[in-house]
Amino acid sequence: MAITDVAARTAKPREKEYKLTDSHGLYLLVKPTGSKRWYLKYRFEGKESRVALGAYPLVSLAKARDKRDEIRLLLAEGISPNAKKEEVREQEQSALNTFEKVAKDWHSNNKRWSSGHAERVWRDLERNILPTIGARNIADLSTRDLLLPLREVEMSGRLDVASRLQQRITGIMRYAVQSGLIDRNPAQDLAGAITSRKATHRPALPLEKLPDFLQKIECHKGRLLTRLAL
């Protein structure tokens, strides 16, 4: 006999848990504590199992029946309800793994940084990278996606900043690989994509001027560290 909403609402706790049975495997389990939860009993590939549908009255009788009917459709298509539930859970978890979230985890795991350095690293990311790709799922990011914000920094002439940010992005994506969030690091293919600032080389000191130069160093009255550097 099918459950009525009145029966579900007025069911009282007993010394032992008991079931109020609806149709097609749906039942309400009443605990000695007074809590009530919906379950659906089903058979899949010859094995009996059950899936939780939620607590009553948060999940009403009508809603529990709707969930039951959805699961029966899955079973008719040869899909395990528990497997589907796990797939949905993984998809929801994956959607939470944005580049910004993973970047924060990576940043907080770099314990060897000084507080000042850590602040500068995050400020650079916050200003230049996160506005473009921060909200993206990290598993969906390609090398081209990672390159876009770097190009913007490069085009502004801040080549040193772009180079540092490339290293940060590579580190973040490496952390994602090590955490099992992605299979490969697309940032590895950024190598050589950003223009490096050319080093300026000073002309060599002519040999004939070397003795005079060494004499000046010897006579220098500044700090020892400065003399050694010279």
For 13-59, what is each residue's pLDDT tens digit? 999 999 999 999 999 999 999 999 999 999 888 888 898 999 999 99
Please indicate, yes or no, if residue 214 is contained in any of the structural domains.
no
Omega cis (within 30) before 57: yes
Please indicate, yes or no, if residue 108 is contained in any of the structural domains.
yes
Say how many domains are in the chain: 2
Residue 139 pLDDT more than 70? yes
Mean pLDDT of the chain: 86
The reply to whether 20 and 55 lie within a common domain is: yes
Please indicate, yes or no, if residue 52 is contained in any of the structural domains.
yes
Q: Taking the complete model, does pTM exceed 0.75, yes or no?
A: no
DSSP-derived pairing of the beta strands 36-44 and 47-56: antiparallel
Rounded to whole angstroms, the Cα distance separating 147 from 132 reads: 10
> Which of 90-99, 169-178, 203-212 bottoms out in mean pLDDT, i.e. has the lowest?
203-212
**Boundaries of domain holding 89:** 5-93
The predicted pLDDT at position 228 comes to 47
The predicted pLDDT at position 194 comes to 83
Answer with the one of 45, 76, 93 that is the final residue of a domain: 93
Among 124, 102, 89, 69, CA closest to 182 = 102
The predicted pLDDT at position 221 comes to 56
Three-class DSSP category at 56: strand
Instruction: Indicate the pLDDT class of residue 81, thresholds 50, 70 and 90.
Output: confident
Please indicate, yes or no, if residue 206 is contained in any of the structural domains.
no
